[in-house]
Structure formats: structure tokens, C-alpha cells
């Protein structure tokens, strides 16, 4: 279980740049092949762009061809909350940060082994921490 972090939109707006705020707090989506990290092959950890909870390890990242960073599993299942999303006339599974409820992207059942899942995540929802560097402290 992850301890929840609650902030108002005004508090988040003070902490986040406009593009990350639009994705993380407004459930926006960046254009394919335009956001950060979609083609990154660097080793490290991807943390929540809002609260810095560690979400994905680079060794679970794969090229899905979708134009967004894709991972077959989170660092810990408890760090991602799956939410039914019926927007845009579709039924999908939204991925949100379990700590701050920020929108990350969506989860699809068309990924590689061992999970068969594709966590299709907006690059603006993430901060990359290179291997060997400490994760930033969690936002309070």
C-alpha cells in the first residue's frame, strides 16, 4: 500500500510545468513520437513526474512502435492504480500513480512476455533518473 499525497490543482500548477500539468493533472495525452523518452534506451528509473514515486525500470521498457514510452510491468504493482476509462467511446484501463492519482497513460493487453501487458505512458508524466543516481525525494 502506498501513502496518498493530496494537493489542490493550484498547488500542482505551482510545482509542474504546463505540459506535465496537462498530462498528469488534466489526463491529457502528448502527440505520438513527440514526448520525452519514447525512444530513450538509457538505463535507469522512471519516476512519477508529479510526486517522484518510482514507477518503471528501464529494463522493462520496450519499443512498442506506438510513439509513447512503453513498459511491460511497473517496478511494483502497488505503485500503479488501474482505473476503468470509458472516455472517447472506448473501454480502456487508465494507469494512474497510486500515490498522487496523477494520470500516466493506459494499459493494454498486447505487450511482450512475461506479462503480456503494455503500459503506454506519456513521457510528460515521467522524470528519468539515470542508473547510479539516487531517486529524488518524494514530494510532500
pLDDT of 1 > 80? The answer is no
Instruction: Kindly report the pTM of this predicted structure.
Output: 0.95
Three-class SS state of 12:
helix
Query: Would you please indicate which residues are annotated as catalytic (active-site) residues?
Result: 120
Strands, E assignment, 19-125: 44-48, 54-57, 61-62, 70-71, 80-85, 92-97, 103-108, 118-121
pLDDT per residue over 66-116, tens digit each? 999 999 999 999 999 999 998 888 899 999 999 999 999 999 999 999 999
pLDDT value for 71: 98
- Domain boundaries of the chain, sorted by first residue: 9-130
The topology under which CATH files domain 9-130 is: 2.170.150
Amino acid at each position: 500500500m502506498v501513502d496518498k499525497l493530496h494537493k489542490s490543482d493550484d498547488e500542482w500548477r505551482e510545482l509542474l510545468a504546463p505540459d506535465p500539468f496537462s498530462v498528469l493533472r488534466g489526463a491529457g495525452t502528448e502527440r505520438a513520437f513527440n514526448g520525452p523518452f519514447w525512444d530513450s534506451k538509457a538505463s535507469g528509473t522512471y519516476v512519477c513526474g508529479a510526486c517522484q514515486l518510482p514507477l518503471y525500470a528501464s529494463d522493462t521498457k520496450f519499443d512498442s512502435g506506438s510513439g509513447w514510452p512503453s513498459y511491460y510491468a511497473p517496478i511494483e504493482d502497488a505503485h500503479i492504480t488501474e482505473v476503468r476509462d470509458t472516455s472517447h467511446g472506448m473501454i480502456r484501463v487508465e494507469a494512474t500513480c497510486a500515490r498522487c492519482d496523477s494520470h500516466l497513460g493506459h494499459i493494454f493487453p498486447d505487450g511482450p512476455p512475461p506479462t503480456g501487458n503494455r503500459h503506454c505512458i506519456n513521457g510528460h508524466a515521467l522524470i528519468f533518473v539515470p542508473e547510479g543516481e539516487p531517486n529524488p525525494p518524494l514530494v510532500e
